[in-house]
Structure 1
Amino acid sequence: MRRTDPTCVFCRIVAGEAPATIVREWPDALAIVPLNPVVPGHLLVLPRVHVTDFVDDPAVSGLTAQRAAELARDMGLSAANEMTSKGAAATQTVWHLHRHLVPRAAGDGLPLPWTPQQEAARAAQGGLR
């Protein structure tokens, strides 16, 4: 039995009912270009079943991570971030598991919470003590 949520945009994309640029399909997942990629080549890998986040169904989460890793390998990425979020406080905005695959390059300026760029920004705002 396929789990879907008719109110979920990713479920509608999986069902072919909402537009998306699909770059890879597997029996259990698909990879799409996000609406606002943070760098060229940024992709989302999402399961075909509705899973709210990575703890909702660890098996589906693991398979989705495997697909993201396969895609990164097949793309020949020498540097990338692969990540997901759980909950609004962690920046989740779509309540369907999705893994970001973000190609990286030295000096691309894309900060993460633990990068020197973020530390410098916090220090400039008086956030580091």
Structure 2
Amino acid sequence: MDAACVFCRIVAGRAPADVVREWGDVIAIRPLHPVTPGHVLVIPHTHVPDVGELPGVSARTMACAAELAAELPAANVITSKGHAATQTVAHLHLHIVPRTAGDDLPLPWTSQQHTAG
């Protein structure tokens, strides 16, 4: 556990969170600023800086995220590694972002983000 890490404090029960589901070693919570209704974060209890560290923890976290995504008709499952890739908290977490046709939520690499100039 990293005492300075907000996700470590959440999994330790030392910071508040709206818990969606818990497994023995992974937790799913609602983010403070969801981008769509139903957006959740899936976070391992083990402090892992990003998806590139401890592949077993990353795989277990993805398995839990897959359980949640299976309940949705459409979703993005996203994680980031490093600041340049938009990672803002240095603790592995996966976003489950429910999607609907026409929701107009752009992803950084979609045509919605690129305009001809």
TM-score in terms of structure 1 length: 0.88
- Distance in 2 (CA, whole Å) between partners of 1:113 and 1:20 is 27
Q: Which runs of 5+ in 1 are unaligned?
A: none
May I ask how many residue pairs the two structures share in their alignment? 117
- Distance in 2 (CA, whole Å) between partners of 1:77 and 1:56 is 28
2:22 match: 25
Is residue 6 of structure 1 aligned with residue 8 of structure 2?
no
- Distance in 1 (CA, whole Å) between partners of 2:4 and 2:28 is 20
TM-score in terms of structure 2 length: 0.96
- Cα distance, 1:115 vs structure 2: 1.7
Post-superposition, which runs of at least 4 consecutive aligned residues in structure 1 deviate over 4 A? Answer: none
SS class of match (1:24): strand
> Mapping of 1:21-60 within 5 angstroms?
21-60=18-57
Per residue, is there more helix in 1 or in 2? 1
RMSD: 0.8
2:79 match: 84
- Distance in 2 (CA, whole Å) between partners of 1:7 and 1:113 is 29
SS class of match (1:78): coil
Residue 101 of structure 1, aligned match among 68, 87, 96: 96
Task: Give the letter for the 2:93 counterpart.
Answer: H
Q: Which runs of 5+ in 2 are unaligned?
A: none
- Distance in 2 (CA, whole Å) between partners of 1:8 and 1:56 is 16
2:58 match: 61
- Identical aligned pairs, as a percentage? 65
- Distance in 2 (CA, whole Å) between partners of 1:114 and 1:11 is 30
Task: Give the letter for the 1:68 counterpart.
Answer: A
- Cα distance, 1:114 vs structure 2: 2.4
Task: Give the letter for the 1:91 counterpart.
Answer: T
- Tell me the alpha carbon deviations over residues 58-93 of structure 1, each in whole angstroms, 9 at most, x when there is no partner: 1100110000001122xx211100010011111111
- Distance in 1 (CA, whole Å) between partners of 2:21 and 2:69 is 11
Residue 107 of structure 2, aligned match among 103, 106, 112: 112
